[in-house]
Structure 1
Amino acid sequence: MTALPTILVVDDEQRSLESLYRILEDDFDVKTALTIQEAEQLLQQEWVQVILCDQRMPELTGVEFLKQVREKWPDVIRMIISGYTNSDDIIHALNDAGIYQYISKPWHPDKLIHLLKNACQMYDLQRQNESLSVELKRLSTHVDKSITAKREKLRDSYLLKDQLSINGKECRDDGIVRTSESSMNDVCEKISRVAPYDVSVLLTGESGTGKELAARKLHYNSLRWDKVFVVENCGALPDELLESELFGYKRGAFTGAVEDRVGLFERANGGTVFLDEIGDVSPAFQVKLLRVLQEGEIRPLGSGKTRHVDVRIIAATNKHLETEVREGRFREDLYYRLAAVT
């Protein structure tokens, strides 16, 4: 059997208390008090959800008492019942005591029961909201810890470990497994030296030589290791689609844009963006990338406002960008922004 919600009725007139008790007892667990002292004692002993208090009491007014209740038992829903409709009383009740409802006499029993049921429901909703807030906070903390642990594990995989032996050969493993005589050793050592500095890096080399792996090593050895690392292949998309992917867009910016979308630059705020095949982007799109590097600003498609982003850009290409610059296919200013370290 479901327990009835508990309400406390406070009135200095015995007949009024008895009348209210008879009307409400079928729907509520009714507690009654003739004095403020009795009411406070019941509040200390019982789990009360709603107080229905008469405004004209000998010790304190109903508003003055409920103001004290608000301070001591803030979760309890407070209601005033009165035969007087003084506007000042109503205003003070709403402002000072946080009254849920000011009920004027004469009242109709069915309406009073309905108002009290609504008040009890509001109490339950407040409690549920508090519980959910606590659970959400715990979940958020758990998720944060889980994400941090996974990022730490990723970071550890890109830190230099003890030397190991594979097929009798002495090898190194810092996310890039290689022998002690490998030509990649110099590259990996340079990456380790450059990683902590918050500068753009341009990686060059043929396809399949591990440029993305090097980019990840740069990220996880940097001060941004605990933030997002995102990858975009610039050579695989036309300008319009690439712009929407990197910069995002507003609803209605183009056909099919049915909702706002956050771009990769904004999603990676605080972290690192790896732009693969940067040598394939058009001159028109190069201008937009230059603004990100120079000003740290983006403007989503369809938006009139710019947004600030804080990202480290690592770019890669299998083209010889210096030649591309000389032949006018790649902007010189963008090249030097990207190639702070090569």
Structure 2
Amino acid sequence: MSTILVVDDDDQLRISFQKLLTEEGYTATGAASGEAGLESVRENLPDLVILDFQLPGINGLETFKAIHGIEPRLPVIMMTAYGTTETAIEATKMGAFDYVLKPFEVPDMLKLIRQGLEAGRFMRSPVDMNGAPGRTLNEALIGRSRAMQEVYKAIGRVAPTDATVLIRGESGTGKELVARAIYQHSMRQNRPFLVINCVAIPDTLLESELFGYEKGAFTGAVHRRVGKIEQAHGGTVFLDEIGDMPFSLQSKMLRLLQEKSIERLGGRDTIPTDVRIIAATNRDLEKAIRDGRFREDLYYRLKVVTVWLPPLSGRAGDIPLLSEYFLARYAAEEGMDNPGITERAGALLTGYPWPGNVRELSNVIRKALIFNRGAPLFPEDIALAVSEKGSPGGGPEAENLEDVIRQLVRRELSARADENLFDTCMDQFAKVLISEALNLTSGNRSRAARLLGLSRPTLHSRIEKYKIELHTSVKGQKK
């Protein structure tokens, strides 16, 4: 549960704000002055601070500077009246996460709080490289394959430099973790780390989000706004899914990389910037260049250093390590004992192609753990967790399965003309399906029935109908 400190001398506003945050599931504390706020930060470091500018004693700006000195990666959201906007902008340039004008809209403030907490977690939660299962429950890059060893080496070599980095790989391979690891091992690790997802923000808002805007730049721009690039001065900006950045913005990004400067939307002043850019994409940028959707000059500016992340299917030997890590981590998060994974379940995990890569494996392990209620994970538990988003639901795996079945059906139709061909084929298919389910569950009929979506009596009658015999190795298992 995240802890939020509200520093404001307006008792009514502060108490109401604390109540609202508590109702939203946060732990909220308050302070009526800058001095009290600093004492609270020193005694019990919160996850985020909401700080008013107009305070008795030391003002908000001085309080922010002191908080920044205690923990520079602690996100601070400033609250300000319209007349102190320029001071708020100055604080933002110094490292404040953002600022809001009083009075503010509650939904907008709650959204900003969520963003600030996420940014703080990114900056302060360590990413272990090659963390061993059982020795770390932090977010980690797991793997001992040769491909992952090359990733670790690349991170170690590029992190201490200021070089621009382009991280490439399929969706779900862990590109954000690599970006955070580079940041946390860099010389900018005590400065801001801001994440911009170029897909999640509408094209019409992305420019102002990145570069800010001047008063009057468009309808509703009632004051100057600092963009994320300026907010991250001295730090790092991670541009996720940069392959989807609108073509119209790419020239501005090129200028940032070439000249280390930007212009706010609606402004003419050139603003020097000092940020390191780390970008990531799962797109084929070379094809995008040929299609005229991505600037070639920006491409070469971004790929000063390229880190390639392999798909999980290309490092199947790492799947057991990843499975153990996710199981231990999620069991700890859920307050459960680690139930372990049976050998057959581990084999099933290793043999699955994982089109969603590490993210899909993570989700499947967590889902199986929750629904299995602390018992060891069996193959059918994994199969059920996979089936919710895997081949039975559609996509490439389903298409491949359908193709295989179609070929078998065509062969039977060409070779036979029995009157009961339909019933015969359906019975053959049902017999194979039930036999494989029983083998997968080591002969446990209750588990097999659950896997097939049948009642236990129905399964029993089908076993007798098709005269299915269990293999010797599973006859002794509980039925």
CA offsets, 1:291-339, max 9 Å, x none?
1111111111121211010111111111111222233221111000001
Name the larger-Rg structure. Answer: 1
The Cα shift of 1:175 comes to 4.5
Q: Is the aligned partner of 1:147 residue 2:111?
A: no
User: Cα–Cα, structure 1 residues 238 and 153, in superposed 2: closer, same or farther, change >3 Å?
Assistant: closer
CA offsets, 1:229-271, max 9 Å, x none?
0011112334331110000011211112122110000000111
Cα root mean square deviation, aligned: 3.1
Structure 1 distance, partners of 2:245, 2:272, is 23
CA offsets, 1:75-95, max 9 Å, x none?
xxxxxxxxxxxxxxxxxxxxx
Structure 1 distance, partners of 2:181, 2:149, is 13
Match of 2:167? 203
Match of 1:194? 158
Structure 2 distance, partners of 1:213, 1:292, is 24
The Cα shift of 1:136 comes to 7.6
Question: Which amino acid is the alignment partner of residue 190 of structure 1?
Answer: A
Q: Is the aligned partner of 1:302 residue 2:266?
A: yes
Q: Is the aligned partner of 1:330 residue 2:294?
A: yes
Q: Aligned with 1:132: secondary structure?
A: coil
For residue 282 of structure 2, the aligned residue among 306, 314, 318 is 318
User: Cα–Cα, structure 1 residues 190 and 328, in superposed 2: closer, same or farther, change >3 Å?
Assistant: same
User: Cα–Cα, structure 1 residues 262 and 206, in superposed 2: closer, same or farther, change >3 Å?
Assistant: same
For residue 206 of structure 2, the aligned residue among 239, 242, 251 is 242
Aligned counterparts, 1:99-138, within 5 A: 132-133=57-58
For residue 158 of structure 1, the aligned residue among 127, 144, 155 is 127
Q: Is the aligned partner of 1:264 residue 2:264?
A: no
For residue 253 of structure 1, the aligned residue among 189, 200, 217 is 217
The Cα shift of 1:180 comes to 3.3
- State, as a whole percentage, how many aligned pairs show the same letter: 48
Does the CA contact (< 8 Å) of 1:159 and 1:174 recur in 2? Answer: yes
Aligned counterparts, 1:224-235, within 5 A: 224-235=188-199
Structure 2 distance, partners of 1:236, 1:180, is 33
User: Cα–Cα, structure 1 residues 330 and 209, in superposed 2: closer, same or farther, change >3 Å?
Assistant: same
Question: Which amino acid is the alignment partner of residue 252 of structure 2?
Answer: K
Does the CA contact (< 8 Å) of 1:239 and 1:285 recur in 2? Answer: no
Q: Is the aligned partner of 1:220 residue 2:220?
A: no
Aligned counterparts, 1:174-193, within 5 A: 175-181=139-145, 183-193=147-157
Structure 2 unaligned segments of length 5 or more: list them: 1-55, 76-119, 307-479
CA offsets, 1:47-84, max 9 Å, x none?
xxxxxxxxxxxxxxxxxxxxxxxxxxxxxxxxxxxxxx
The Cα shift of 1:191 comes to 1.1
Structure 1 distance, partners of 2:70, 2:147, is 38
Question: Which amino acid is the alignment partner of residue 339 of structure 1?
Answer: K
User: Cα–Cα, structure 1 residues 289 and 188, in superposed 2: closer, same or farther, change >3 Å?
Assistant: same
CA offsets, 1:100-124, max 9 Å, x none?
xxxxxxxxxxxxxxxxxxxxxxxxx
Report runs of 4+ in structure 1 exceeding 6 Å deviation: 149-153, 171-174
Looking at secondary structure, tell me which structure has more strand per residue: 1
CA offsets, 1:260-286, max 9 Å, x none?
110000000111111111111222211
Question: Which amino acid is the alignment partner of residue 253 of structure 1?
Answer: A
Match of 2:241? 277
User: Cα–Cα, structure 1 residues 273 and 206, in superposed 2: closer, same or farther, change >3 Å?
Assistant: same
User: Cα–Cα, structure 1 residues 298 and 140, in superposed 2: closer, same or farther, change >3 Å?
Assistant: closer
Match of 2:425? none
User: Cα–Cα, structure 1 residues 209 and 152, in superposed 2: closer, same or farther, change >3 Å?
Assistant: closer
User: Cα–Cα, structure 1 residues 254 and 149, in superposed 2: closer, same or farther, change >3 Å?
Assistant: closer
User: Cα–Cα, structure 1 residues 221 and 297, in superposed 2: closer, same or farther, change >3 Å?
Assistant: same
Question: Which amino acid is the alignment partner of residue 248 of structure 2?
Answer: A
Q: Aligned with 1:249: secondary structure?
A: coil
For residue 340 of structure 1, the aligned residue among 304, 325, 341 is 304
CA offsets, 1:202-249, max 9 Å, x none?
111122211111111111111111100001111233433111000001
Question: Which amino acid is the alignment partner of residue 126 of structure 2?
Answer: S
Does the CA contact (< 8 Å) of 2:122 and 2:180 recur in 1? Answer: no
User: Cα–Cα, structure 1 residues 180 and 283, in superposed 2: closer, same or farther, change >3 Å?
Assistant: closer
The Cα shift of 1:159 comes to 5.6
Structure 1 unaligned segments of length 5 or more: list them: 1-130
User: Cα–Cα, structure 1 residues 172 and 323, in superposed 2: closer, same or farther, change >3 Å?
Assistant: farther
User: Cα–Cα, structure 1 residues 328 and 271, in superposed 2: closer, same or farther, change >3 Å?
Assistant: same
For residue 257 of structure 2, the aligned residue among 287, 293, 312 is 293
CA offsets, 1:143-177, max 9 Å, x none?
5213368989956823658x6453xxxx7888524
Structure 2 distance, partners of 1:288, 1:298, is 7
Does the CA contact (< 8 Å) of 1:283 and 1:331 recur in 2? Answer: yes
Looking at secondary structure, tell me which structure has more helix per residue: 2
Q: Aligned with 1:202: secondary structure?
A: strand
Deviates more, 1:267-276 or 1:236-245: 236-245
Does the CA contact (< 8 Å) of 2:216 and 2:223 recur in 1? Answer: yes
Structure 1 distance, partners of 2:242, 2:254, is 12
